[in-house]
């Protein structure tokens, strides 16, 4: 990395980041980003959502979007966190919206990293193209009797390096289907009045998120920026992502 420690801390000094992974992933996927942020003096938490990653033994038909929201809420509460820069990658955008609805006073800035935007009262499947939903439901039935969605290839996330493909492939786990079919139970708008940034990863585009990117660009309450990276930018472009996150954190601390 070429950034200095002072530059990466931004205007506000040491920041607190909670990084929430997407579908089929786990807290492990943030390793490169978390290492860099911690080396710069920041506090970083990378919770793994129920049923995924090292918590795959908890896979259950009872898992919903509310479960994921509680996963993240409990980390913030039990670690006594405040002034949090809360980052949600891909499917992780849904639970961070839930957290902002429940405890906006703990959140400084919400960052939706190439995220699926689930609307209040709607399901994650409602935000995806119908043909993609039908294909995923078919895969869930055939692979697990409707319990979970099997992971796609690592290449589907824009990963090209052979070593990265092998690493990600070893760690991907099935995703609880109930998290896709249950509604996002929030009372206010997405973001709940907190500063929000959507980071679109555009090289290459993850086509399933076109609708979410377009929605974010149309919101006056959202800042929209782009990265020349594939969907799993935290794996393929950790330095660029860290620089961007630190910039956003520094700017929001000055508000």
Q: What tokens were used for 174?
A: 């099935």
Could you tell me if 46 and 32 are in contact, meaning their C-beta atoms sit under 8 angstroms apart? no
Catalytic hit among 82, 90, 97, 252: 90
Distances (CA, A) of 117 to 73, 112, 160, 213: 19, 8, 26, 8
Annotated catalytic residue 221: no
DSSP-derived 3-state class of residue 52: coil
The answer, yes or no, to whether the previous bond of 26 is cis (omega within 30 of 0) is no
C-alpha 107, offset from chain centre: 15
Q: State the Cα–Cα distance between residues 90 and 251, nearest whole angstrom.
A: 23
| Residue entry with tokens 């609708």 | 211
d(CA 62, CA 87): 25
For every residue of 181-219, DSSP letters joined together read: HSBB--SS-TTTTS-EEEEEEBTTB-GGGHHHHHHHHT-
| Catalytic residue numbers, as ranges | 90
């Amino acid at each position: 990395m070429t950034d200095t420690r002072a530059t990466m801390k931004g205007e506000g000094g040491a920041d607190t980041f909670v990084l929430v992974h997407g579908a089929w992933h786990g807290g492990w996927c943030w390793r490169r980003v978390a290492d860099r942020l911690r080396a710069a003096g920041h506090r970083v938490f990378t919770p793994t959502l129920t049923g995924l990653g090292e918590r795959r033994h908890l896979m259950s038909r009872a898992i919903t979007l509310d479960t994921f929201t509680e996963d993240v809420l409990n980390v913030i509460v039990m670690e006594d966190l405040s002034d949090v820069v809360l980052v949600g990658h891909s499917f992780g955008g849904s639970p961070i919206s839930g957290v902002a609805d429940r405890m906006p006073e703990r959140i400084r800035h919400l960052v939706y990293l190439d995220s699926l935007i689930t609307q209040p009262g709607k399901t994650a499947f409602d935000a995806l193209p119908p043909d993609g939903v039908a294909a995923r439901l078919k895969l869930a039935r055939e692979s697990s009797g409707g319990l979970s969605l099997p992971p796609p290839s690592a290449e589907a996330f824009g990963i090209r390096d052979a070593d990265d493909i092998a690493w990600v492939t070893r760690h991907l786990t099935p995703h609880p289907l109930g998290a896709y079919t249950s509604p996002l139970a929030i009372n206010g708008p997405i973001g709940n009045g907190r500063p929000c940034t959507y980071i679109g990863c555009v090289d290459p585009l993850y086509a399933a998120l076109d609708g979410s990117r377009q929605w974010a660009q149309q919101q006056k309450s959202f800042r929209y920026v782009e990265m020349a990276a594939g969907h799993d930018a935290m794996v393929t472009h950790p330095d660029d992502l860290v620089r961007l996150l630190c910039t956003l954190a520094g700017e929001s601390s000055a508000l």
